[in-house]
């Protein structure tokens, strides 16, 4: 049995934003979601307890809306990380399992690492395990102090560390695994006699040593995973780290990324081999792209997009909440939103699926069936269906469904007046 406690109460002053720090986004997904999803995707945890504080109402609303297996607890006032975890005590009064503690502003932590961490804790029969990392420059991190046998002695915050302790390169990664019934009493014994005047979560290590409990450190393989967000610059760096990780994975799976420097693809996007992503594409949200597709350059996929095999989404084409079946092309200057598009369809340049009514604020669906052809600069005003094989003439404004194999034309007849220019 495993539950998580996620620390998400901080104000994030250096973000210079009215948005709570943990609700800032990478690829249209919040930092907090990355952490909760990483825990949920391990398949180990049955409940997450999110400790909230700054703008608690916004964070609580977000958690309730998006995660049925997560609860929130308010920390007020905010007296440190140890105090934050103690806020969960009433919810865990009769709990007798393991607790993992994570920070809500570390979006790069992976499910695989969390699983390895918990497995290490269980295999070693540890009562308390801390995740650690080795840094060439460990400035600003709490230092891991080990005993001669390699077990964990303590974690010393840099502001409280001696010169000898500051020379240690192994640092606290901020993730813990606890045998809750054994470690729970520590949170009632924490003291705030330190430089910050706060209740440090790290002090539970010394408490465990005094209680003759087994405490260990698990060393992280990839330091990038514990990169924390405290500023907009940090947010940009984390975005780049996450994107590079995603692109490397996709290229290893057989996807061609022509220019990784200018290409951005969300980690929730699945792409099959032999698809080519041309430069300056931005793909966010959850998408599924088949084989032998060509995307871009300068294409934008906004999420909930499914492209079957041999689909072309060309330059300056934007796609959202749309399924496109095989062998269909939308090559230029097009918007496809809330749509179902069949096979062997050609979408002419400048086509728009007008899916949103600004008066009623209702979004409607456009359906284009197999073998249809949409002429350039057409507007399909949803809800509308273009049946199989139908053709829409260029510059069409389509407000009614078009029957199969019909031609729809809405432009005025062309008039040619001979000699008009000279006269």
Give the domain CATH number at 86. Answer: 3.90.550.10
Q: Which residue from 312, 285, 305, 82 is spatially nearest to 199, judged by alpha carbons? A: 82
Q: Would you say residue 177 lies in a domain?
A: yes
Specify whether 90 is located in the same domain as 238.
Answer: no
The range of the structural domain enclosing residue 40 comes to 2-226
CATH number, domain with residue 357: 2.160.10.10
Contact predicate 127/179, CB 8 Å: yes
H or E, element range at 57: helix 56-66
**Residue 285: φ, ψ to 5°:** 75, -160
What would the pLDDT profile of 130-151 be if each residue is shown by its tens digit? 999 999 998 888 899 999 899 9
Helix, strand, coil percentages (3-state) for the chain, rounded to 5, are 25, 30, 45
Q: Which of 174, 194, 226 is the C-terminal boundary of a domain?
A: 226
The verdict on 325 and 388 lying in the same domain is yes
Structure tokens at 127: 């009562």
- Shared domain for 116 and 241, answered yes or no, is no
Are 180 and 272 members of one domain? Answer: no
- The number of domains in the chain is 2
Residues 6+ positions from 387 with CB-CB distance below 8 Å: 369, 372, 401, 402, 403, 404, 405, 406
User: Of 236, 201, 177, 8, whose CA–CA distance to 105 is shortest?
Assistant: 8
Domain assignment present for 418: no
Q: Are residues 202 and 249 in the same domain?
A: no
Q: What CA–CA distance (Å, rounded) separates 269 from 277?
A: 13
* Rounded distance between C-alpha atoms, residue 284 and residue 304, angstroms: 9
Q: Tell me the backbone φ, ψ of residue 163, rounded to 5 degrees.
A: -60, -40
Range 37-42 contact pairs with CB under 8 angstroms and sequence separation of 24 or more: 38/109, 38/110, 38/111, 38/114, 39/4, 39/6, 39/100, 39/102, 39/111, 39/114, 40/67, 40/69, 41/111, 42/111, 42/114, 42/115, 42/118
64-73: which pairs have CB atoms within 8 A and are 24 or more residues apart?
66/33, 67/36, 67/40, 69/40, 69/45, 70/36, 71/47, 73/49
Structural domain includes residue 422: no
- Give the integer Cα–Cα distance in Å for 419 and 218: 86
Same domain, 131 and 280: no
Six token digits for residue 377: 């600069």
Mean pLDDT computed over every residue of the chain: 95
What's the count of helices (H) and strands (E) in the chain, helices before strands? 8, 33
182 and 279 share one domain = no
Same-domain status, 50 and 96: yes
Is 54 tagged catalytic?
A: no
**Full pLDDT tens readout for the chain, 423 residues:** 899 999 999 888 999 999 999 999 999 999 999 999 999 999 999 999 999 999 999 999 999 999 999 999 999 988 999 999 999 999 999 999 999 999 999 999 999 999 999 999 999 999 999 999 999 998 888 899 999 899 999 888 888 889 999 999 999 999 999 999 999 999 998 888 776 778 989 999 999 999 999 999 999 999 999 999 999 999 999 999 999 999 999 999 999 999 999 999 999 999 999 999 999 999 999 999 999 999 999 999 999 999 999 999 999 999 999 999 999 999 999 999 999 999 999 999 999 999 999 899 999 999 999 999 999 999 999 999 999 999 999 999 999 999 999 999 998 888 999 999 999
Q: Which of 54, 121, 300, 332 is catalytic?
A: 332
Whether 365 maps to a domain, the answer reads: yes
* Residues near 201 by beta carbon (within 8 Å), at least 6 away in sequence: 80, 81, 82, 84, 85, 101, 176
Distances (CA, A) of 54 to 57, 78, 88, 104, 311: 9, 9, 17, 13, 46
- Of 204, 226, 248, the position where a domain reaches its end is 226
Domain boundary among 167, 195, 226: 226
Residue 93 vs residues 98, 180, 410: alpha-carbon distances, Å = 13, 10, 70
pTM above 0.75, yes or no: yes
Shared domain for 272 and 183, answered yes or no, is: no
C-beta atoms surrounding 49 within 10 Å: 19
Integer Cα distance of 386 and 373 in angstroms: 9
* Greatest pairwise CA separation for the chain in angstroms: 104
For residue 413, being part of any structural domain is answered with: no
Same domain, 324 and 357: yes
Distance CA 88, CA 238 (A): 29
Q: Are strands 143-146 and 128-134 parallel, antiparallel or unpaired?
A: unpaired
Q: Do 78 and 202 belong to one domain? A: yes
Task: Looking at the structure, tell me whether residues 91 and 24 fall in a common domain.
Answer: yes
């Amino acid at each position: 049995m495993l539950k998580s406690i996620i620390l998400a109460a901080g104000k994030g002053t250096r973000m210079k934003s009215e948005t709570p720090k943990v609700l800032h986004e990478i690829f249209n997904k919040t930092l907090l979601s990355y952490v909760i999803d990483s825990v949920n995707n391990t398949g180990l945890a049955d409940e997450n307890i999110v400790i909230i504080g700054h703008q608690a109402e916004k964070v609580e609303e977000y958690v309730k809306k998006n995660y049925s297996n997560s609860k929130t607890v308010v920390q007020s006032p905010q007296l440190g990380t140890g105090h934050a975890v103690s806020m969960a005590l009433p919810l865990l009064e009769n709990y007798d399992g393991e607790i993992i503690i994570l920070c809500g502003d570390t979006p790069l932590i992976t499910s695989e690492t969390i699983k390895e961490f918990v497995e290490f804790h269980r295999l070693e029969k540890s009562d308390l395990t801390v995740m650690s990392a080795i840094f060439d420059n460990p400035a600003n991190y709490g230092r891991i102090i080990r005993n001669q046998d390699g077990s964990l002695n303590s974690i010393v915050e840099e502001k409280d560390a001696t010169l000898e302790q500051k020379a240690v390169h192994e640092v606290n990664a901020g993730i813990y695994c606890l045998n809750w019934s054994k470690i729970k009493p520590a949170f009632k014994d924490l003291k705030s006699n330190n430089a910050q005047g706060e209740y440090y979560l790290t002090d539970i290590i010394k408490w465990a040593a005094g209680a003759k409990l087994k405490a260990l450190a698990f060393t992280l393989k990839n330091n990038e995973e514990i990169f924390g967000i405290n500023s907009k610059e940090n947010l940009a760096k984390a975005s780049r780290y996450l994107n590079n990780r995603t692109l490397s994975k996709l290229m290893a799976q057989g996807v061609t990324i022509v220019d990784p420097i200018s290409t951005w693809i969300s980690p929730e996007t699945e792409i099959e081999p032999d698809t080519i992503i041309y430069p300056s594409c931005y793909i966010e949200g959850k998408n599924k792209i088949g084989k032998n597709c060509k995307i871009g350059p300068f294409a934008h996929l906004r999420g909930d997009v499914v492209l079957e095999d041999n689909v072309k989404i060309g330059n300056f084409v934007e796609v959202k909440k749309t399924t496109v079946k095989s062998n269909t092309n939308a090559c230029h200057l097009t918007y496809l939103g809330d749509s179902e598009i069949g096979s062997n369809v050609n979408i002419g340049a400048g086509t728009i699926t007008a899916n949103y009514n600004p008066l009623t604020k209702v979004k409607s669906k456009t359906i284009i069936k197999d073998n249809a052809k949409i002429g350039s600069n057409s507007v399909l005003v949803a809800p509308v269906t273009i049946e199989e094989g139908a053709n829409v003439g260029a510059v069409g404004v389509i407000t009614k469904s078009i029957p199969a194999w019909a031609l729809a034309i809405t432009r005025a007849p062309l008039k040619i007046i001979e000699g008009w220019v000279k006269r």
